[in-house]
Structure 1
Amino acid sequence: MKQIDIVGRRKIWFTISIVLIVIAILASFFPGVKLDIQFSGGTIVTYSFNGDLDKGEFQSTIENSLGQKVTLREQNDVNTGATNYVITLNSKSGVTPDQQIAVNAALNEKFPGADIQTASISNVDPSIGRDFLLKSVVAVAVASILMIVYIAFRFRKMNGWSAGVIAVAALVHDLIIAYGAFVVCGFPLNDSFIAVMLTILGYSINNTIIVYDRIRENRRLLPVKTSYKDLVNISVNQSMSRSINTTVSTVIAVGCVCVMSLVYNVSSILTFSFPLLVGMFAGFFSSMFISGSLWTLWQEHKLAKK
């Protein structure tokens, strides 16, 4: 099998990563980050009705009555089997009783005979979601530190501290690209976002560890004069087929979930599966093309200083 010069083309891999990260950062401002009601706070109102109602007209009637944008989704009542409409209003002030009465009057006027009723109404406190987000960030930070310590100890024969720092840097790279998928696609940041971040954190490190294992073994087997560039190139090429097989098998499963969520218009699953799919591709890319090249650059810099 022909050897790919991974390290020799590192400028290409670094450029691709930088471009993707810049896109994620720019998308945070244009069009901007959407926060789900869990983080921004607001009101959730569930409406019951008879017959079939046009979703667009139902939503526009509420927006005209309240004078602001709302989000509408369908919900099936498990007990009755009836379809309800759930309205999400991202407003910290909530909906006053007078506003709710006005909305109900406008809906019944627009859809006479549908017997539209307010099944439930609840206000969401954003502090709960923000506390959860903060705790998740702390968990990621602690996990990153523990990873650096563990990798530094396990791969101490290949300058473990540098290996640990680079492995975590590659993880941050994957998390930023997955975040970019959320922002570019217009998905709101919610509990699915946190689940994707934590999943990628555990998944992406595997391929990097495989590459590090090969580097450690080859450093013992290859001649002492073997350069860092050749050492990493040989190790990454030896790990490539295994990493491709692992990634492809996982991507097929997640990809099928993406397709099914698109076919059946299940947005809650799509907002989890698609960014996770992007994060898996990013994890493979960073493990194969970024982490080894960065480690080589680090070691060559240390050697040049000596």
Structure 2
Amino acid sequence: MRFPLKLVPDDTNIPFLRYRNVAMAFSLLLIIGSLALVAIKGFNLGIDFVGGQMLRVQFAQPVPIEQIREKVDALGLGEATIQQFGSPRDVSIRMPLPPGGEEGANRAASQVRQAVSQAFPGARFDAVETVSGKVSEELFRTGAWALGLAMLGISLYIWFRFEWQFGVGALFALFHDVALTLGFFALTQLEFDLNIVAAILTIIGYSLNDTIVVYDRIRENMRKYRKMDMAALLDLSVNETLSRTVVTSLSLGLTLGILLALGPDIIFGFTAAMFLGIVIGTFSSVYVSAAILLWLRVSSDSFVPKSGTPANAERMGTAERVPGK
């Protein structure tokens, strides 16, 4: 007889909340460090946000950046930013917008293509992107609004769906996930463009989904075990949803890990942001979103109807799987 594989046993009883102070201190340090990196180093903004022209070149063999810079600077098209991305043979050349509008941009791209191809035979230009300054400012503004409104709308939904403490907890967990992701891009200086904004919005959705599952189980157990210690009840709820959390995160992590190793370079930043977000989101769902309810003084009668108490709501928290019993 075959039995299904279970990554998390049914009787799992891990005392997550025992380490809540250490986990929260670690999270706060990471948040502060991430915000400091963003303030000091900033982002390597793509042309989506700063405007300009970018050419992606693949060389037949690795070429020193200084040699490429020398050829591009000799054209007199302005200060160019030249960086490797992906393999040592892949290089991005980013330049300010030349005068003359679209015609001037096409002429400048042709000059760069001709100069680089002559100096480095076998060079292949994979993409040429041009974004005006006005469009880039609009994209940056709308991207920031999208992130802010998504987090605000989510917290308001959870506030009305549960209690205000749950809304605050979810908002802090989402802020934790977004701040750490932004800190990662400030540290690594990977290109930050609209693809990364899309990745962060996806991370917010994933983290929210996992957090709501945990919160819903907490609310259910608060109605069932009115006299259970809150820390024990939170541990019980997290353990009961742990199997789903692990299976979902592991499935996504394996897929994103393969994309990181074997996927195309053009989506490397997006994939890296998603992979990091899955790890951070899982951590925040277990340690941050649940633990913060204790500090916000969520009580066992938060979901008891004001008009009366259901007959089955007076169960004692003496179930076999109560953590720490």
TM-score (structure 1 length as normaliser): 0.76
Shift of 1:43: 2.7
Q: Corresponding residue for 2:82?
A: 71
Shift of 1:297: 1.0
Report whether the alignment pairs 1:151 with 2:170. no
Shift of 1:281: 0.6
Which residue of the other structure, out of 287, 290, 298, is the alignment partner of 1:289? 287
Q: Which amino acid aligns with 1:190?
A: D
Which sits farther off after the overlay, 95-104 or 125-134?
95-104
Report whether the alignment pairs 1:209 with 2:218. no
Q: Corresponding residue for 1:126?
A: 133
Q: Corresponding residue for 1:87?
A: 93
Q: What does 1:146-295 correspond to in 2, within 5 Å?
A: 146-155=153-162, 160-222=163-225, 224-261=226-263, 266-295=264-293
SS at match of 1:257: helix
Q: What does 1:101-140 correspond to in 2, within 5 Å?
A: 110=119, 123-140=130-147
Deviations 1:136-189 (A, max 9, x none): 33233333333233223332xxxx111012112211111111112222222121
Q: Which amino acid aligns with 1:61?
A: E
Deviations 1:195-221 (A, max 9, x none): 111111111111111111111111121
Q: Corresponding residue for 1:41?
A: 51
Q: Which amino acid aligns with 1:129?
A: S
Cα separation, partners in 2 of 1:229 and 1:109, compared to 1, 3 Å: closer
Q: Corresponding residue for 1:59?
A: 68
Contact 2:83/2:91 (8 A) holds in 1 = yes
Shift of 1:129: 2.6
SS at match of 1:226: coil
Contact 1:59/1:72 (8 A) holds in 2 = no
Contact 1:149/1:164 (8 A) holds in 2 = yes
Count of residues paired in the alignment: 281
What is the identity percentage for the equivalent residue pairs of Structure 1 and Structure 2? Answer: 26
TM-score (structure 2 length as normaliser): 0.72
Q: What stretches of structure 1 move > 4 A for 4+ residues in a row?
A: 45-48, 51-55, 92-111, 118-123
Which sits farther off after the overlay, 283-292 or 226-235?
226-235
SS at match of 2:222: helix
Gaps of 5+ in 1: 75-83
CA RMSD in angstroms, aligned pairs only: 3.9
Separation (CA, whole Å) in 2 of partners of 1:47 and 1:145: 41
Separation (CA, whole Å) in 1 of partners of 2:28 and 2:181: 14
Shift of 1:234: 1.3
Shift of 1:15: 1.7
Q: Corresponding residue for 1:81?
A: none
Cα separation, partners in 2 of 1:161 and 1:61, compared to 1, 3 Å: same
